[in-house]
Structure 1
Amino acid sequence: MKGNQTVGLIVICGATASGKSGLAIALAQKLKSVILSADSRQVYREFDIGTAKPTVAERQLIPHYLIDICNPTETLTVADYQQQTQTLINDFHHKTSSPPLLVGGTGLYIKAIVQGMKIPRVAPQPELRSQLSSLGQTQLYAMLQQVDLTATEKIHPNDPVRTLRALEVFYVTGRPISEQQGENPPAYPILQIGLDCDRTQLTKRIAQRTEQMIAAGWEAEVKTLIEKYGSELPLLDTLGYREMKQYLAGDISLNQAKELTVLHTRQFAKRQRTWFRAYPAIEWFDADQPDLLKKVWQRVQEFIEIL
């Protein structure tokens, strides 16, 4: 390596249950490096089993960062995540000669780092949103066309979430969201490794992991969270937790909760694959090949040699 300014970054991404964590731990051990999580639910404390958080034993093997960094009642924005991650990467680049590993399946988190997305730092404004929402999507979109025509070229007329966000940013900052967006890619080199596997095999992995979560005490975890925060907590309406919540409420059986979790996780994995496949810089590896670690390690060594 030619000095800490070119330490670089290694990304391990792909669909849920494709084996990213296991591969990342093995690579981090070889590199004597650290893992930065890119998972939008693992940032929250107490949501452990249902988010497939690395175990205590795994975290003792390799230092993990960006896990358990906020409370379930708080909201961590993509801008918050980006800022914290960029600071950590910068710190590691000055402290070590091994590239850190950015690992996870939240595409937007990875894009925020790899492409250096410019994100307007405007926190959600519940009161403003409530006032605007009452006007209806047709009127909101017409308002957005008046204040930020450029934004409407990228936002569909039937997309209330992005329409509302664009108006929110405009009214808080006085500047169109389109002027505040864009990209500022990092100067350091990045190797992006994607894990993929056959759809049938991925379904088996998802089903197996769901069973493991239940065996590890997932039901008790969800019950405790409901008792502590109430069933209306937004995080309890996310993948898996929603289904387990329905079971605990007596609306469905445990078997139905398992089947629905597998089905919805499979659908989510399909969306993740579609997202990641849109980025040509990602180098894909078959998650089920027996010599996966050997092949990825070979590619990592090639990457390190050019730094």
Structure 2
Amino acid sequence: MKGIVIAGATGVGKTNLSIKLAQKINAEIISADASQVYKELDIGTAKVTQEEMQGIPHYMIDVVNPDEDYSVGDFERAVNDILNENVNKSEKNIIIAGGTGLYIKSVTDGFAKLPSKDEKIRAELESKSIEELQEILKKIDEKSYKEIDLFNKLRLVRAIEVCLLTGGKFSELRVQNEKNNNYKFLKIFLTRNREELYERINKRVDIMISKGLINEARKIYDNYQKSLYKISSIGYKELFSYFERKIILEEAIEEIKKESRRYAKRQMTWFRKEKNYIVYNLSEISEDEIIKDILKKWEKF
């Protein structure tokens, strides 16, 4: 079986191109976006609307509540269920579209079989401060300590939890991959010239604000007060600071733009290190030309 990956930074134009491509090859789309799996986070994650889908089925959107834990392993298992079911039906082609590199890689290259979460251990770890968690991880797995986002509490908790449950090191266990589908993927990476991409990101944030992002974030803030630290998606955490009067609205909006640009830069860096991606620059070649070229490669793939 074969499928297509459409990857790229936030705001580059993945959604539009993947839908047009899906129409050409009779495909369904699996979203690979770590924020779009959450219900209620719609405007701030630029979640594709029913109208935008144009009748193309989309999977892995609105999977869990904003305060629920959701991991790469959860994504890998769910997507492989979809892929293996599709093999049996063999009716539609598959496109994986998104910008969360680890989610995509877990499906295309395989994923380490890490233990499921342990409620007791997790509750104990979550009660600790970020500084305490950093110290624990440094003692038991220094390699993870050097590689992980030290200010992401959820990731710190998970890395320590895996170490405690297995007696091994998260940094070693997480690279022992097993692939659980029979698909080969034609991998496409979309990019743009940096100035144009950043301009698109800034404009997209302004559009989100005009569409009601502040009201959406306020509802999330009011409904999930006890577990706001679990909601770390860009566009929400900055507005939470505004609701708490730590910053003014203009600063929150600028912070969303800045964090979105930084995230795009990290995505581009991550995908450039990956192998076997065909790169198309939308600043230099039109969407229609890219689709035409992908279709030629798809025929031969």
Q: Shared fold (TM-score greater than 0.5)?
A: yes
How far apart are the structure 2 equivalents of 1:274 and 1:223?
Answer: 33
Residue 125 of structure 2 aligns with which residue? 129
Change (3 A) 1:288 1:120: same
Query: How many residues align structurally?
Result: 292
Change (3 A) 1:11 1:250: same
Please say which of residues 57-66 and 37-46 is displaced more in the overlay.
57-66
How far apart are the structure 2 equivalents of 1:72 and 1:37?
Answer: 17
Q: SS in structure 2 opposite 1:209? A: helix
Q: What is the Cα deviation at residue 181 of structure 1?
A: 4.6
What does residue range 64-213 of structure 1 map to in structure 2 within 5 Å?
A: 64-123=58-117, 125-129=121-125, 141-142=138-139, 144=140, 154-156=143-145, 165-173=158-166, 177=170, 178=172, 181-185=175-179, 186-213=181-208
Identical residues among aligned pairs (%): 33
45, 54, 61: which one aligns with 1:51: 45
Change (3 A) 1:206 1:230: same
How far apart are the structure 2 equivalents of 1:228 and 1:49?
Answer: 17
Deviations 1:258-284 (A, max 9, x none): 222111111111111111110121111
Q: What is the Cα deviation at residue 256 of structure 1?
A: 2.3
How far apart are the structure 2 equivalents of 1:43 and 1:55?
Answer: 14
Which amino acid in the other structure matches residue 126 of structure 1?
A: R
Structure 1: runs of 5 or more not aligned: 1-5, 145-150
Deviations 1:268-303 (A, max 9, x none): 111111111101211110123452233333223322
Change (3 A) 1:75 1:286: same
Is 1:11–1:191's contact at 8 Å kept on the other side of the alignment?
yes
Q: SS in structure 1 opposite 2:144? A: coil
Is 1:79–1:121's contact at 8 Å kept on the other side of the alignment?
no
Structure 2: runs of 5 or more not aligned: none
Which amino acid in the other structure matches residue 237 of structure 2?
A: R
Residue 271 of structure 1 aligns with which residue? 266
Q: What is the Cα deviation at residue 110 of structure 1?
A: 0.8
Please say which of residues 282-291 and 14-23 is displaced more in the overlay.
282-291
Give the TM-score normalised by structure 2: 0.85
